[in-house]
Amino acid sequence: MLLRPLILRLPRAIAAALTVAFKGNRLPPAQFSLSGVPVEGSARCAKTPWVAEPAFAGSIVIRGRSLRPDRAALSFGYDREPTPRLELKAPGSRPSAHDWSFWATSMYVPGPGCYGVQIDTRDKTDIVIFEATT
């Protein structure tokens, strides 16, 4: 399944806001500006929250890369040095049946261009395509 968010903006405060809207089967491209996103090493470090609905329990593996010919890998940071593969685990039991799992991570974007992020769980794979602009 291909997921295409409407807009992913990273304002100067670097708080990511994701708005998803469906209009028939067509969605505008997902874009966010690298303007104001801090540089760490040779990449922009964008705060990227991930969430899992209360009914989901299990492993989540996230990885991504550029869709340009260089196919540069995205890196992700969460409790350790950036890595090209982010592994998360949603617990099987929560204090409340309404509790969502949440991970505050970072995605290291090498620069402007189109990228694909693959999100794997035991039962399915989702892909998000986005464009980072200057």
Alpha helices (H) in the chain, listed in sequence order: none
Count of residues in the chain: 134
What tens digit of pLDDT does each residue of 77-126 get? 998 889 999 999 999 887 887 889 999 999 999 999 999 999 999 999 99
Q: DSSP character for 54?
A: T
51 φ/ψ angles, rounded to the nearest 5 degrees: -135, 150
Looking at residue 29, its pLDDT comes to 72
Q: What is the CATH number of the domain that holds 59?
A: 2.60.40.2550
Number of domains the chain contains: 1
CA–CA separation, 74 and 66 (whole Å): 7
Reference 37, options 62, 16, 63; nearest CA is 16
Give tens-digit pLDDT for 8-55.
333 332 223 233 333 344 566 789 899 999 999 999 999 999 999 998
- The C-alpha atoms of residue 9 and residue 15 are separated, in whole angstroms, by 8
| Four-residue CA torsion sign, 21, 23, 26, 28 | negative
- Range of 93's domain? 2-20+28-133
Residue whose C-alpha is closest to residue 84's, from 65, 68, 70, 69? 65
Residue 120 makes CB contacts below 8 A (sequence gap 6+) with 60, 61, 62
* CA–CA gap between residue 49 and residue 51 (Å, rounded): 7
Q: What is the rounded CA–CA span in Å between residue 93 and residue 37?
A: 36
What pTM value is reported for the model? 0.76
The band of 61, judged by pLDDT with boundaries at 50, 70 and 90, is very high
